[in-house]
């Protein structure tokens, strides 16, 4: 394993079975997350970004399974672990922040109880010490009067504060990988800005990798070091933020960029990607994007494109892009 890599996903294939038939939802996904780096996974709903996180957390529902490939976290392959081993890793080495902070916290228990529980479990400290540490972590995520907040219940906190509490809870286990699944989608723009700034600040002293799932390209520009673009269960493009934003190669990435109304531009014509996102039960031959692509060539309908490295670190899967470019 290369130096500095926290998570390495290699050739991951996953499928869901619906009415006794298997449908592939992830096809040959590979990417990695390095220490002190934020990798954003971008795509429309149904593209497989949440399934990828579930695979990493080993939380797939009963009808889903990983067919092949490996997920290596800190040198250990998660796909080969049994349930007991996974429990020790989950929460400790990898923490997850969910989209809806209200459903992620237990409404019947105080913030303090829930924070202490995590600390006592993962850090092995006693209750008194856990309390002190809980205060410390709440301060770290920018919550004023942490002592009184510990005694409060989730309903007494606003959405932004709840999300901060969740971040504190995840951080308190000192994980090497932080997975954030659309953590700011349910928040207002001003609060979103606060949370993103917080995450950017924490990244420096956390010594962990962040895997950030989102569909908002504005958020991506704010937080990402590298970007992975998924479409219908396939990785269509990967590269650094600089590469993807300045020089997007795949027609889908270009379409996504154009579909977002730019707040700073004076003139803007709405430029949607025509057509609808394919259902997983649909069987599309060749490139999965071909029904919506405006630049299709004959080859696109016959075979799936291979992933090509156009620049160091910039990977694209499209027939239009050849190595010579």
The residues of the shown chain that bind other proteins, judged by CB under 8 A, are 44-45, 158, 160-161, 188-194, 196-197, 215-219, 221-222, 241-242, 245-246, 255-257, 259-264, 266, 268, 270-274, 276-277, 279
Beta carbons within 8 Å of 58's beta carbon, 6+ residues apart: 78, 81, 86, 90
Nearest C-alpha neighbor of 254 from the set 240, 236, 279, 267: 236
Of 102 and 221, nearer to other proteins (C-beta) is 221
By CB neighbour count within 10 A (0-12 exposed, 13-18 middle, 19+ buried), where does 215 fall?
middle
The nearest distance, CB 156 to other proteins, in angstroms, is 12
Beta bridge partners of 231: 234
DSSP state of 273: P
The nearest distance, CB 73 to other proteins, in angstroms, is 29
The nearest distance, CB 185 to other proteins, in angstroms, is 10
The nearest distance, CB 198 to other proteins, in angstroms, is 9
Which long-range CB contacts under 8 A does 141-147 form with residues at least 24 apart? 141/165, 141/167, 141/168, 141/171, 141/198, 141/202, 142/194, 142/198, 143/168
Of 108 and 263, nearer to other proteins (C-beta) is 263
Of 28 and 216, nearer to other proteins (C-beta) is 216
Decide if 90 contacts 55 (C-beta within 8 A).
Answer: no
Of 276 and 322, nearer to other proteins (C-beta) is 276
The nearest distance, CB 269 to other proteins, in angstroms, is 8
Per the document, the length of the chain is 325
Of 78 and 138, nearer to other proteins (C-beta) is 138
């Amino acid at each position: 394993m290369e130096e500095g890599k926290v998570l390495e996903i290699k050739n991951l294939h996953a499928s869901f079975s619906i009415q006794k038939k298997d449908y592939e939802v992830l096809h040959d996904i590979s990417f990695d997350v390095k220490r002190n780096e934020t990798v954003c996974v971008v795509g429309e709903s149904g593209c497989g970004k949440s399934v990828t996180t579930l695979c990493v957390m080993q939380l797939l529902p009963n009808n889903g399974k990983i067919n092949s490939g490996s997920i290596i976290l800190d040198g250990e392959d998660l796909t080969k672990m049994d349930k007991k081993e996974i429990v020790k890793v989950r929460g400790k080495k990898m923490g997850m922040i969910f989209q809806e902070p209200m459903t992620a916290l237990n409404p019947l228990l105080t913030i303090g109880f829930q924070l202490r529980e995590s600390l006592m479990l993962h850090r092995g400290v006693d209750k008194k010490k856990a309390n002190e540490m809980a205060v410390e972590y709440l301060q770290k995520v920018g919550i004023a009067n942490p002592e009184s907040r510990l005694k409060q219940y989730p309903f007494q906190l606003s959405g932004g504060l709840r999300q901060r509490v969740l971040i504190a809870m995840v951080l308190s286990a000192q994980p090497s990988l932080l997975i954030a699944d659309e953590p700011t989608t349910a928040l207002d723009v001003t609060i979103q800005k606060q949370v993103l700034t917080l995450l950017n600040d924490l990244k420096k002293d956390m010594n962990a990798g962040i895997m950030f799932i989102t569909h908002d390209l504005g958020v991506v520009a704010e937080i990402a070091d590298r970007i992975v673009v998924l479409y219908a269960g396939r990785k269509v493009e990967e590269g650094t933020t600089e590469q993807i934003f300045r020089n997007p190669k795949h027609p889908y990435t270009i379409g996504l960029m154009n579909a977002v109304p730019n707040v700073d531009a004076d003139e803007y014509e709405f430029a949607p990607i025509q057509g609808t996102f394919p259902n997983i039960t649909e069987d599309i031959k060749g490139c999965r994007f071909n029904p919506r692509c405006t630049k299709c060539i004959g080859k696109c309908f016959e075979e799936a494109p291979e992933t090509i490295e156009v620049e160091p670190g910039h990977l694209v899967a499209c027939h239009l892009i050849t190595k010579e470019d």
